[in-house]
Structure formats: C-alpha cells, structure tokens
C-alpha cells in the first residue's frame, strides 16, 4: 500500500513536458473577408470591328473582376442583357454595340436597378496598337483619377457609375493586393478622355500603358438599359448627320 502511494506521489510531482505541436496543427490564418463583391459583365453585340473587339479585350484584362459572355444577337431586345448579367452573377455591365461598321457605342449600367449611361466611343487606340513603354501586372488594382468637372450634378452620376464599374474591389480573389497603375478620367469639350498610366517605382512619375479612348455621353437613364431620361447631352452630334 505504501509503495503504491509513493508511486502516485512521484507521478504528481514529476515535471510535465510541453505537448509536441506540429506545424500542420497550427490554426489556419483566415483571409480577410471579401465584402465588396462587384462583378462587371463585359461583352458586345455581333458586328464589332477588330479594333472594337481588341478594346473590349483590353478592358477585360485590366479588370480582374470582369466576366465574359458570348456575343448578343442584334435582333434580341436590349433588355435581355439584365437577365444575362443576373445569370453571370454580375451587378455592373459594359456593353458594346457597333453601327454601320464604323460607329461604336458603349453602355455602362448598374444592373438591374439602374441608372445607365450610353456613350459614343471615339478615337479608339488599343494597347497593342500604341506599343507604349508603360506596363502593369495582371490583376493589380487601379487608382481612379477624376478632374474637378465631375463635381457637377450630371457628371457626378457618371463619376459614381465609373467608380463602381472600373474600381477593382478590395480583396477580390483574382486581384493583386497593390496599386501600380492609374485610370484617368478627364472632361474636355464635354467628353470624357480615358487614359491608363503606370506608376513608376523609382520617382513616382507616370508612363502611359493604354488603351486610349474618348467617351461622348448621349443620355443618362434611370433604369438599366432604358427607362426615363434623367439627362440628355445638348452638345451631342450624331455622327451620321
């Protein structure tokens, strides 16, 4: 009886060794939550020229939160785009359509509630066509730059739509967690001039990457791809007149 009690006391007084922990037993560090789940559907109608298609591909490559879709038939109603975006789980849409094999129109819409803006696209220069010195990593997030004109009422609506469409959400799975290029939107002659610049690490200067294009706003609608007209550009001139 005495030996058994002494053995129990030895076990209680023996120093306890720390438990062995393997690296695989360590808790997995959770990624930061991705809350802003903006997705942009970028596609076009049949009949786009090669330059227009290359511009569409450039925007897809620059926007990691974009989704693709097959070409829309011309005979289909434009309202069907809302259903196509919903099937792709997208809440923004950039839609291209060509007219007479020379004129390019762009719709930017908040799906499905609206608003939406229709633009005439001018002076298109793609990234392959320009061959500029600037470069950026695929999937990196852009900084958005707007001039002071966008503080006016109708320009403010367009500005907010551009921010939500072209801005890559933070912690987006396909994006890189840093900024190395700038999307510049400037208003000149009542048109929006788009430029894409690389931010140089050496001195912070800018080097243009491309593409280049000019957006001439036509109308702002309160719905997605239609509805009541909120604003109409009095300076717009139809290219076929």
Whether pLDDT at 204 is above 80: no
| pLDDT per residue as tens digits for the range 8-56 | 555 556 566 555 555 555 565 555 565 667 899 999 998 899 999 999 9
DSSP 8-state code for residue 72: B
- Please report the beta strands in 103-211, taking only residues with DSSP state E, as ranges in sequence order: 103-110, 116-125, 140-146, 176-188, 191-199, 206-208
Question: How far apart are the C-alpha atoms of 114 and 196, rounded to whole Å?
Answer: 27
Please state the domain extents for the chain. 40-232
Query: What b/e readout covers 11-32, taking b as 16+ CB neighbours within 10 angstroms?
Result: eeeeeeeeeeeeeeeeeeeeee
pTM for the model: 0.82
Contact yes or no for 212/130 (Cβ under 8 A):
yes
Question: Which CATH architecture does the domain made up of 40-232 adopt?
Answer: 3-Layer(aba) Sandwich (3.40)
What SS3 state is found at 35?
A: coil
């Amino acid at each position: 009886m005495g030996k058994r009690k002494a053995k129990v006391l030895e076990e209680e007084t023996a120093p306890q060794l720390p438990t062995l922990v393997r690296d695989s037993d360590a808790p997995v560090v959770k990624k930061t939550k991705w809350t802003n789940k903006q997705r942009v559907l970028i596609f076009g109608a049949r009949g786009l020229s090669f330059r227009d298609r290359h511009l569409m591909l450039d925007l897809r490559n620059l926007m990691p939160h974009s989704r693709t879709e097959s070409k829309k038939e011309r005979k289909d109603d434009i309202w069907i785009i809302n259903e196509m975006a919903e099937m792709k789980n997208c809440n923004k849409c950039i839609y291209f359509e060509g007219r007479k094999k020379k004129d390019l129109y762009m719709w930017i819409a908040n799906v499905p509630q609206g608003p939406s803006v229709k633009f005439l696209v001018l002076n298109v220069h793609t990234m392959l066509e320009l061959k500029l010195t600037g470069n950026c990593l695929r999937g990196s997030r852009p900084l958005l730059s707007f001039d002071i004109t966008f503080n006016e009422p109708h320009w403010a609506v367009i500005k907010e739509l551009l921010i939500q469409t072209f801005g890559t959400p933070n912690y987006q799975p396909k994006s890189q967690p840093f900024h190395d290029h700038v999307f510049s939107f400037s208003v000149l002659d009542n048109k929006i001039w788009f430029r894409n610049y690389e931010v140089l690490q050496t001195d912070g200067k800018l080097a243009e990457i491309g593409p280049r294009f000019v957006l001439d706003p036509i109308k702002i609608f309160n719905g997605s791809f239609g509805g009541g007209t909120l604003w109409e550009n009095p300076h717009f001139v139809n290219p076929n007149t």
